[in-house]
Chain A
Amino acid sequence: MNNAFYLNDRLEEWHPGMTIKDLIDKKNFIFKMLVVKIDNKLIKKTDYDKTLIPDKSSVQILHLMSGG
């Protein structure tokens, strides 16, 4: 596996310099609140634009819905 990473267990093409924010925009995650993890480490919302996605990593992005 070269230049690729997993997003929610699906293989995605990896590019150098790609941030979490880039991925969220590209994949059109429309909800304003998300749970984002890279290799099971939680990424804070304030860090999305400065967190680089490592090559061969596993990224998990889940929607967080209002309602309780």
Chain B
Amino acid sequence: MQREEFFKDHDPEILKAIEGGIVGIAGAGGLGSNAAVALARAGVGKLIIVDFDRVSASNLNRQYYFAEQVGSYKVEALKQNLKRVNPWCEYEIYIKRLDPVLIQEIYEDVDILIEAFDQAEAKQMLIETWDECFADIPLIVGSGIGGIGGNNKLRQTASGNLYLIGDGVADVEQGFKPLAPRVTAVAGMQANLALELLISKFNKMKLNDLR
């Protein structure tokens, strides 16, 4: 398989806009692993993925891993899977638990960050750190992904460069267990918004070049 064959069905203009893009993904669980696969298929130039955890059997009901990967570090297993999907993009991985210092170091060069943590506390830490250090870079947070059904409740709420995606209600700690259909729907919405923002950033740059 050649690179040209892989991208044959892509819109060449859109591919141009995203093949130089860098998207950070904070967490490689249900949201992070599925968003990463969607962005790799779409052809985003580089993904920077961070997670400290290993794949467990109970992750397989919603996360993009396979049974034989149980026990592996998530980011290592995910990189293998992404390379099998699209070997032409770059995947930078870190086995680390993100804190404010690491967030600043690792995600300095991204065009967009997708937040894919599990705990609300970690989401809040990331949002506050991002606001202090990279307020100009879009941050796409998942919030309210548990449960079943409620398709029409999944939505995107924007506040400046901060975007929240989910139903804003189904808290996993309140007993809304996460399952693949709804988690992958939210991950897909995060990836979809990331593409949209990458393309609009590219077009703005192009406009500036023409001036």
Binding site for B on A (CB under 8 A): 31-35, 37, 40, 42, 44-45, 60, 62-68
Q: Which of B36-68 contact A (CB under 8 A)?
A: none
- A67→B168 contact, CB < 8 A: no
- A66→B173 contact, CB < 8 A: yes
Cβ contacts under 8 Å, B121 to chain A: 33
- Does any Cβ of A come within 8 Å of B178's Cβ? yes
- A65→B116 contact, CB < 8 A: no
Q: Which of B167-203 contact A (CB under 8 A)?
A: 168-173, 176, 178, 183
Closest 8 CB pairs of A and B: A67-B172, A33-B120, A65-B171, A42-B131, A68-B118, A66-B120, A65-B144, A66-B173
Of the candidates B30, B119, B159, B169, which one forms a contact with A35 in the assembled complex, judged by CB atoms under 8 Å apart?
Answer: B159
Q: How far is the CA of A35 from the CA of B124 in the complex (A)?
A: 7
- B172→A42 contact, CB < 8 A: no
- Does any Cβ of A come within 8 Å of B160's Cβ? yes
Cβ contacts under 8 Å, A31 to chain B: 120, 171
- A66→B164 contact, CB < 8 A: no
What 0/1 pattern do residues 107 to 146 of B give for CB contact below 8 A with A? 0000000011111110110011001000000000111111
Of the candidates A37, A64, A68, which one forms a contact with B29 in the assembled complex, judged by CB atoms under 8 Å apart?
Answer: A68
Interface size on B, residues (CB 8 A): 38
SS class of chain B's interface: helix, strand, loop or mixed?
mixed
- Does any Cβ of A come within 8 Å of B93's Cβ? no
A35-B164, A63-B168, A65-B120 known, 20 other contacts, Cβ within 8 Å: A33-B120, A34-B124, A35-B124, A37-B160, A42-B128, A44-B128, A62-B143, A62-B157, A62-B168, A64-B143, A65-B143, A65-B168, A67-B145, A67-B146, A67-B171, A67-B176, A67-B178, A68-B29, A68-B31, A68-B123
Q: How far is the CA of A63 from the CA of B153 in the complex (A)?
A: 14
- Does any Cβ of A come within 8 Å of B21's Cβ? no
- A68→B159 contact, CB < 8 A: no
13 CB-based A-B contacts, threshold 8 Å:
A35-B162, A37-B160, A62-B168, A63-B168, A63-B171, A64-B143, A65-B166, A66-B119, A67-B30, A68-B115, A68-B116, A68-B123, A68-B145
Of the candidates A32, A35, A40, which one forms a contact with B127 in the assembled complex, judged by CB atoms under 8 Å apart?
Answer: A35
Q: How far is the CA of A40 from the CA of B161 in the complex (A)?
A: 10
Q: Which of B146-166 contact A (CB under 8 A)?
A: 146, 157, 159-160, 162, 164, 166
